Structure 1
Amino acid sequence: MSFDTRLRAIIQEERYSNQQLANALRFNLSATANYVTGQKEPCCQFLMQFSQHDCFKKYTIWLLTGNVEPRSGQVCPVFSTQEPCV
C-alpha cells in the first residue's frame, strides 16, 4: 500500500477533509492535496506536523512504514480503538 493510500485511509477514518487536514497541520491546502493524491512526496515539515498532532500521531509508524506497533499505541485505521477526533 502506498503512502498516499495510507494517508487517505487515515483522513477518512478521522473524518477529515483535505481542507481540515491542511488546517489541522497548519499546512498549505494545495501541498496537502498533492500528498493525499500521490502527486508529490510529503516534505519533512508535513511529516513532523502530522506526527505531533493529537489525532494523527497514533498512525505515524503505519503511515511511514505500513507496520503497526499496537503495544506502543501505533495503529492503523482498521485497528484504532479510539474515537475519531472530529
Structure 2
Amino acid sequence: MLASLLLSFTAAAQSARFGSRMVSVGDTADHVREVAGAPDNVASEPTDTGPREEWTYRRRGRLIQLWIADGKVVHLSDRKDEAGK
C-alpha cells in the first residue's frame, strides 16, 4: 500500500512550469507546444514500444526535458541548467 501511495505522489509531481502555466506527464504534445512553444531541440530515438522524442527547453536558467511517445508526455525532467544558458 505504501508503495502505491509513493508511486501516486511521484506521478503527481511530474510537472514543469512555463511562466504561469504547467506541463505534466500525460499532457498531449499539442498542449506542450501551446504552453511552452517550440522546443529548443528535438531528438528522436527508437524504443521497443515505438519511436520516442526528447524535447529540450532552456528557460530562465532551467533545463526542461520532455519525452514524448504516442503524442503524449511520458516523462519529464526539470533541473538547473548547468550550461548556464
Q: TM-score range by the shorter chain?
A: under 0.3
- Greater gyration radius: 2
User: Greater relative contact order (Cα 8 A, min sep 6): structure 1 or 2?
Assistant: 1
Structure-1-length-normalised TM-score: 0.27
Structure-2-length-normalised TM-score: 0.27
Higher strand share: 2
Higher helix share: 1
